[in-house]
Amino acid sequence: MIQNLMDGILTGSIISLGAIGLTMVMHMLRFANFAYAELLAIGAYAALVFDRLFAALVPVMDQAFGGLSLTWSLTLATLAAMAITGLSAVLIDWAIFKRIRQKADALSMVFASFGVALIIRNVITLIFGLKAELYSNDIAFAMVLSRDPLLLIKPDQVFVLVAALVLMTIFHLVLSRTTFGFALRAVAENPALAQVAGVPLARIIIVVWMIGGAFSAAAGVFYALTNHLSPLIGHNFLLPVFAATIVGGIGSVYGALLGGFIVGIASGLALQVLPSGYSPAMPFLIILAVLLVRPQGLFGEAEQT
């Protein structure tokens, strides 16, 4: 029970990071982007490439920090992956979504995003193969928190949770203190009014893709660090991040953060009653429950068709 709760919180922090950008682009560009979760996969694999590269160039960087499987090279690789993934997100929008947006309706955008997801996922499979990869082959030992009930936690997991919370706090400070943060929230709430108030919309959209990409990359690396890399990361996180945005209310950044934890914890606790094979379906049940009780989500405005 407590073990499931802890695992759920951890997964929740990863889902939250993935959902922050999704909720913003979904609201600003007004379409459900099914390619979004592939950014997690792009980030995780980009970090793998950079990690190997840095470790090969400067072998001393391949030293793990005590107890963690994290190394200097992986730390730098993660930052590089965040940048690369942010740029990829901007590039994909520019090359595909922006063009379709100009001549077709929102439905075509949703449709195209599925196609883009399929392409990204399988190109990753072609490059890296179907088998699961790890950043480090050293075995990371779990710490025993308690023997009865048995509670285990890996140092990597603690690190991931702390790092995710740090990222969220930084983002919160940006949102609540800076002009850029106000502008971002203004755009998230009402893009047309924000433009009238003098916010350069096109530039903000680019920045939102960058932030979304960077956070997704971090989420992808954090997942891979505590589990493993697989080309299916994007596919597996798609429904959870959508569930998080719907729980929180589309367009609400804080809603997405909270929604991510709710989805993670609910999925973790569900393991008490459901066999793990049903886990992929949990986010769907959560979505159904929200649509039934409060379709606009926790922090969302009532939205018409």
Q: Which residues bind another protein (CB under 8 A)?
A: 26, 31-32, 34, 96, 99-100, 103-104, 106-108, 110-112, 114-119, 121-123, 125-126, 179, 182-183, 185-186, 188-190, 192-201, 235, 238-239, 242, 246, 250, 252, 275, 277-281, 283-285, 287-288, 291-292, 295, 301, 303-305
CB of 58 to another protein, least distance (A): 33
Cα 282 to chain centroid distance, Å, stands at 17
State in angstroms the smallest separation of the CB of 90 from another protein. 17
Task: Using the Cα atoms of residue 245, residue 233, residue 88 and residue 70 in order, give the sign of their dihedral.
Answer: positive
Nearer to another protein, 103 or 147 (CB): 103
Cβ closer to another protein: 121 or 154? 121
The neighbour count for residue 203, using CB atoms within 10 Å, is: 10
Nearer to another protein (CB atom), residue 155 or residue 231: 231
- Closer of 190 and 227 to another protein (Cβ): 190
Q: How far is the CB of 149 from another protein (least distance, A)?
A: 26
Cβ 30 to another protein shortest distance, Å: 8
| Residue 71 β-bridge partners | 64
Q: Phi, psi (5° rounding) for residue 133?
A: -120, 160
As a whole number of angstroms, the distance between CA 119 and CA 206 comes to 22
DSSP letter string over 111-155? HHHHHHHHHHHHHHHHHH-SS-B-S--SPPPPEEEETTTTEEE-H
Type of residue numbered 44: A
Cβ closest to another protein, residue 98 vs residue 136: 98
Tell whether omega for the bond before 295 is within 30 degrees of 0, i.e. cis: no
Cα dihedral 22→24→25→30 (10° resolution): 110
**CA dihedral sign of residues 26, 29, 30, 34:** negative
According to DSSP, residue 294 is labeled: -
Report the SS3 class of residue 67.
coil
Q: Are 117 and 38 in contact (CB under 8 A)?
A: yes
Tell me how long the chain is: 305
- Residues 208/253, Cβ–Cβ less than 8 Å: no
Query: What single letter denotes the amino acid at residue 88?
Result: S
Residue 138 vs 177, nearer CB to another protein: 177
